Amino acid sequence: MSTSASEPTTLTATYLSPTNDSFTHTHPLQTPPSTSAEDRVAYLSSLKTAVAKLQERVNKELTERMEDDKGKDGGSAGGKGVVDEKKEEENYGEEIVEEE
């Protein structure tokens, strides 16, 4: 990001993968016209909003890639094939030990 006042800058997120399509999302930002507290607060507020929007877009892209990967691996997942979405959501982030 540039430090000169009123220069356009961008917030950028790039995803690179050897197995999935890569993507880049950018969100333009306008640097504050001065170093006054009011201008800085306005800039930081717009930056916060831009980060949230960018995170939402990245999450959407990554979720799509996860779904694609599940579809590709569906036939080879130990013969299970079908994914129980509700169970997946309930156990998100948890280590699952299956009983035999």
Half-sphere exposure of 24 (CA within 13 A, CB side): 5
Q: How confident is the model at residue 1 (pLDDT cuts 50, 70, 90)?
A: very low
How is the chain split among helix, strand and coil, in percent rounded to 5? 45, 15, 40
pLDDT of residue 31: 87
Q: Is the pLDDT of residue 67 over 70?
A: yes
CB atoms within 10 A of CB 71: 10
pLDDT of residue 73: 74
Please give the helix or strand (H or E) that residue 41 lies within, else none.
helix 37-73
Q: What is this structure's pTM?
A: 0.60
pLDDT of residue 82: 60
pLDDT of residue 98: 66
pLDDT of residue 26: 92
